[in-house]
Amino acid sequence: MDPGIRSKTSQFPLSDRMCQRNNSRENLDRFIPNRSAMDFDFAQYMLMGGKVGKENAALCSPSKEAYRKQLKEIFSMNRTRILAFKNKPPPSVDGFQESSSVHQSKPTKSTRYIPQSSERTLDAPELPDDFYLNLLDWGCGNILAIALGNSVYLWDATDGSTSELLSTDDEIGPVTSVRWAPDGRHLAVGLNNSHVQLWDSLASRLLRTLQDGHRSRVSSLDWNSHILTTGGMDSLIINNDVRMRSHNIGIYRGHSLEVCGLKWSASGQQLASGGNDNLLYIWNISTGSTNSATQWLHPPSGPHSRCKSSLLVSFSE
């Protein structure tokens, strides 16, 4: 080695390593606090202010003492240590804070409340125990029509009022079916003597009686614009145009027993009918015939089985 060139390497490498270790902030001693991680203002308050507060605690009122304790908890953030033996944690990343805040703001799934009792109970003393009849109908005017024996009552769901629309004689009653017209004002009422009455609910007045169609009680009704379709115990389905004097404009024959349910499609071109013969028919308004051959939706339990409940048919709007 050239003697003119001095080596940069120290003659005491062990001493240099110790100095580097002592100057590093990452190498801390557990018995020596880290001044850079300490809050000297908080330390002074804890050493001086806390002592003064304890001395004057006896002279303060309970409300001031509670207020002082609350301020102490807020500003000190429940810190009890003065000396710090670790470095301050590194600042958090902004992206992590945003994602965490978004995650915390996610709404929790609300619990669905299922009532265990009815909202209101109406007394219906003469409601017949006959599941083949259609004795209730809720109109678009938020009025519920209820047939009780020989009478029809209207319950207004808006104000909870009840009124009697009609009462028939025993010769033509009882009422066997009710159905609101699309306007929510006129009500069709089927009777046990095969007649159908049209009533104006606002004026409480009988407008017309449809007869000479069925031979027995009318147990199902449904509207298709100005056409009122009726189904009876005689297994017939009749279309009645309420604008015409000769209202009978078509008869559908297919059921062998009482027609329990009627429902027109939203297009008004097809009619679904359910009967006590365990059959569901789809009729076409133009031809008055079924669309296809018989197809079982549910096999009967026997060759002479009957429905044990009224068949409800409904087209999706």
Query: pLDDT tens for residues 58-105?
Result: 566 777 778 777 766 666 555 656 666 566 666 666 555 555 555 556
Question: Residue ranges per domain, the chain?
Answer: 14-87, 136-284
Lowest mean pLDDT among 66-75, 143-152, 263-272: 66-75
Give mean pLDDT, residues 165-181. Answer: 94
- Specify the higher pLDDT residue, 139 or 14: 139
Whole-angstrom distance, CA of residue 221 vs CA of residue 194: 12
**Cα–Cα–Cα angle for 208, 210, 214, rounded to 5 degrees:** 165
**Residue 198 near residue 243 (C-beta atoms within 8 A):** no
What's the CATH class of domain 136-284? Answer: mainly beta
pLDDT at res. 117: 86
- Specify the higher pLDDT residue, 313 or 80: 80
Strand partners, 280: 274
Whole-angstrom distance, CA of residue 132 vs CA of residue 176: 9
Residue 212 confidence class, pLDDT cut points 50, 70, 90: confident
E strand or H helix that includes residue 102? helix 94-104
**Residue 154 near residue 162 (C-beta atoms within 8 A):** yes
